Amino acid sequence: MEAKKPNSAKALQPGNNVRGVKNAFFIILACFVVAVLLFLFVFGHPSHFDAEGFDGVSMWFAGEEFAKAHPLDLIGTIFKGGIIVPILQTLFLTVIVISVERYFALRSAKGNGSITKFVADVRKCLAANDIAGAKALCAKQRGSVAAVVNQALIRYEEMDQNTVLSKEQKIATIQKEVEEAMAMEMPSLQQNLPIVATLTTLGTLVGLLGTVMGMIKSFQALSASGAPDSTELSTGISEALVNTAFGIATGAFAVISYNYYSNKIDNLTYAIDEIGFTIVQSFAATH
């Protein structure tokens, strides 16, 4: 009976080494549900308003009674910011959740140990022409870098045994294998980051929209009353600026998150480029 071959090579195929959420729609939907619940039952709790007997749901559908309910603290002021508040909270929560998801995804892409040490150990194996040892290191390290290196080493062995192609063709084949393996890894590394990049601008714009809508309501209330009321005006402006604060916080956090993880991905691709160049140079020097 034929012995079953180990499947470590299969497990290190490019493209399947990053663990993360493939469809961000479910993240956004979950964040929206959480944001609405927070808006109605936490920020809209009766303890934050001077209107007794009203909670967030009843105040939201109470028409004029909602306008008469004055906030007693900042949380109540946030609730009075209007329908834009849960939208901004959804955007903010989405940035946080995707940032956490990308942390664990890129951690799995990194592998089990230090990338720098892994690259150095593989270079030592290549210098000693120990391809089997280098593949064993890949199986131990795992992750995206190890998957690309493993594919390049498999092609390295194939070219080592090939007697048809010229040396230049063999080198070009190994280079192409490294590029193709890296191209298969990149989409999973960059998964969901475009959404974070979009939220860097969208969060600020939605915040400004909420501010403008709040200011319009404030001045409409002043014009309807017929006489300026500094208290009403200051309250309205506070409610409007809450949206600006949420928008700026969302945009700022999104910028930090996007740049941080983009730098992480650049470090991984640099390591792949470095070890890929080493493999090609090792083949050129020994053949």
Give the span between the Cα atoms of 119 and 262, in whole angstroms: 21
pLDDT at 3: 44
pLDDT at 95: 96
Would 185 be classed as within a structural domain?
Answer: yes
Question: At 49, is the secondary structure helix, strand, or coil?
Answer: strand
Number of domain units in the chain: 1
- Prediction pTM value: 0.85
Would 93 be classed as within a structural domain?
Answer: no
Average pLDDT by stretches of 10, the chain with 287 residues: 44 67 90 93 81 59 58 83 90 96 90 87 88 91 89 90 88 91 88 94 92 81 64 72 91 96 92 88 83
Q: Exposure of 164 by Cβ count < 10 A (0-12 exposed, 13-18 middle, 19+ buried)?
A: exposed
Closest CA to 214 of 240, 241, 248: 240
pLDDT at 4: 43
Would 42 be classed as within a structural domain?
Answer: no
Would 198 be classed as within a structural domain?
Answer: yes
Would 49 be classed as within a structural domain?
Answer: no
- pLDDT tens per residue across span 238-268: 778 888 999 999 999 999 999 999 999 999 8
Would 168 be classed as within a structural domain?
Answer: yes
pLDDT at 222: 72
pLDDT at 94: 96
> Is 156 within 8 Å of 129 (Cβ atoms)?
no
Residue with tokens 């549900």: 33
Q: What are the distances in angstroms from CA 145 to CA 93, 123, 170, 256? A: 31, 14, 22, 25
Domain that holds residue 165: 113-287
> Is 242 within 8 Å of 81 (Cβ atoms)?
yes
pLDDT at 7: 45
DSSP character string of 65-125 = HHHH--BSSHHHHHHTT-THHHHHHHHHHHHHHHHHHHHHHHHHHH-SS-HHHHHHHHHHH
Q: Within the chain, what is the greatest distance between any pair of CA atoms?
A: 96
Residue with tokens 């404030």: 218
Would 152 be classed as within a structural domain?
Answer: yes
pLDDT at 9: 44
The residues, any chain, with a CB within 8 Å of residue 163's CB and separated by 6 or more, are none
- pLDDT tens per residue across span 178-210: 999 888 888 889 999 999 999 999 999 999 998
pLDDT at 208: 92
Closest CA to 33 of 106, 73, 82, 90: 90
Would 58 be classed as within a structural domain?
Answer: no
